[in-house]
Amino acid sequence: MMDNYRQSLIYLAAMRTVRSVAAGIIYVVFTYLAKEVLHISMFELGIIYATAGAATAALSVVVGYMTDLIGRKASLYISSALLVLTPLVLLVHLSLATAFAAAILGGISATGAMGAGGVGGVVGPVQNTIIADLTKDLGRTRVISLLWFIGSLAAAGGTLLGGYFSYWDELVMATVIAAAAMLLIPPMKLPDVRARGLSMRSASNAFKFSMTGLMNGLTSGLTTPFILPIFAYIYHAPRALASDVVAAASLVATFSMLAAPELERRMGFLRSITITRALTIPIMLAFPFAGSFWVAAALYLLYPMFRVIAIPVQQSFLLELTPPEERGRVSGLNQGSRLLFSSVGTYAASPFFLDVSEAGSVASEAGPVPMYAVPFFLYAVLMAANIYMYWRFFAKDEARLAARRQGLAPALEG
């Protein structure tokens, strides 16, 4: 049985790798298709990202419930098919309407954050649940770190590929690669864990993780979707150069996540979150005042690393607190709240980019502080509040888990 589980983890890692390449290609190509072919303004692009984020949020919750109620493998098939349809829609017909449809199907605002450490999208809850099913508590962070590493490395390769071929070739490539990823699902041998009903014993934990997910999404939505467009619209970075920077940021973030198990061992869950997320605050405050592409690129290389290095620790903590038959729903609610409020953040931030034209000009009356700096200021305030929320919600849970691991407390209910 353990050999079957080990093989299934290998297939899951391979699937994540192949899928991540496709997502990396789509992200870079979509941004430049919007700018250069469809002539979409930065404000309109923000609205598309926000709409896609909201749709992905809803789908994430649905997939989370499906994972617990109809089974892991069926949910994996259904959620994986959406990424195949994303470039296919753009190949059939390219217009503002199909761009909206593709963004919604693929969750491009979520999969777009390649530098933020991986693919994201609706497949996340079922993948996380499968990892938890196939691993034990003490080794789970290491497995999550390794799978994030492999997937993010592949995503970096995808962003590189996204800068060097014609748009048509890129979309065909992404379609074929995303479809190939689904061929790795049938060989997986997964435990048949299903919930008996809709009620959850871990409802309080679901609420707490949804609230922190909400704040994580809001901070991300205010800033992250606009970083690549800032490179394109304000600094006039060529597509190949921008894709190189995004790939480099993804690589830096990717390798940093290998340190997550050691981070967890030395600092624990809450201190890992506090230190790494706090370090993003000065970076985001400085970003709108970079003044040149290369300074902005240097800041962007640092931001994803600190943003994502503790994600495996966070995911392992969530899964360890949650009963197996409820993991899909708790993961789906956490991701759904994060993506929904990422969408809210993007909607809220988009008007601050109205003065940024397709030509890259910024209204002179903005003065020394450009209007698009406001979302970055809000990021700092909300991230500080988010860190406080983690301590308020999870300090006792972390102490209880530590006691359980040392054999000093009974098993947690969830």
Dihedral pair phi/psi, residue 390, rounded to 5°? -55, -45
d(CA 275, CA 270) in angstroms, rounded, equals: 9
| Cβ-based neighbour number of residue 138 at 10 Å | 11
Q: Is residue 413 part of a domain?
A: no
For the chain, the domain total comes to: 1
Q: Is residue 195 part of a domain?
A: no
Q: What is the DSSP letter of 412?
A: P
Q: Is residue 103 part of a domain?
A: yes
pTM of the predicted model as reported, rounded to 2 decimal places: 0.79
Confidence at residue 198, expressed as pLDDT on a 0 to 100 scale: 81
Per the listing, tokens 């999870």 go with: 394
Q: What is the CATH number of the domain that holds 333?
A: 1.20.1250.20
Dihedral pair phi/psi, residue 197, rounded to 5°? -165, -175
What tokens appear for 279 in the block? 């370090």
94-111 burial, b at 16+ Cβ within 10 Å, e below that, comes to beeeebbbbbbbbbbbbb
Confidence at residue 52, expressed as pLDDT on a 0 to 100 scale: 81
Q: What is the DSSP letter of 411?
A: P
Closest Cα to residue 170, out of 88, 82, 53, 56? 88
pLDDT in tens, the chain (414 residues): 556 678 888 999 999 899 989 988 888 888 888 888 888 887 788 788 778 878 888 888 999 999 999 989 999 999 999 999 999 999 999 898 898 888 888 877 644 343 333 334 788 889 889 988 888 765 788 888 888 888 878 887 888 888 788 888 999 999 999 999 999 999 998 888 888 778 788 888 889 989 998 999 899 989 988 888 888 888 888 878 887 888 788 788 888 888 988 998 899 899 999 999 999 999 999 999 988 899 999 999 999 899 989 888 998 888 888 888 898 999 898 888 888 888 888 888 888 887 765 445 444 444 577 788 999 999 999 999 999 999 999 999 888 887 776 765 444 443
* 3 state DSSP class of 123: coil
Q: Is residue 398 part of a domain?
A: yes
Q: Is residue 412 part of a domain?
A: no
Q: What is the DSSP letter of 410?
A: P
- What residues make up the domain containing 11? 2-188+201-405
**296 and 235 in contact (C-beta within 8 Å)?**
yes
Please, which residues have CB within 8 angstroms of residue 1's CB and are 6 or more apart in sequence?
A: none
Phi-psi map region of 407: left, alpha, beta (phi>0 left; psi -120 to 50 alpha): left
Per the listing, tokens 């624990």 go with: 268
CA distances from 160 to 155, 170, 180, 245, 396 (A): 9, 11, 19, 9, 44
Q: Is residue 379 part of a domain?
A: yes
Q: Is residue 414 part of a domain?
A: no
Confidence at residue 191, expressed as pLDDT on a 0 to 100 scale: 83
* 3 state DSSP class of 357: coil
CA distances from 350 to 117, 236, 281 (A): 23, 19, 20
d(CA 20, CA 135) in angstroms, rounded, equals: 22
Q: Is residue 330 part of a domain?
A: yes
d(CA 248, CA 297) in angstroms, rounded, equals: 10
Closest Cα to residue 88, out of 75, 102, 69, 100? 102
Please, which residues have CB within 8 angstroms of residue 183's CB and are 6 or more apart in sequence?
A: none
The burial class, CB within 10 Å (0-12 / 13-18 / 19+), for 408 is exposed
CA 191 to chain centre: 26
Per the listing, tokens 């992200």 go with: 27
Please, which residues have CB within 8 angstroms of residue 6's CB and are 6 or more apart in sequence?
A: 134
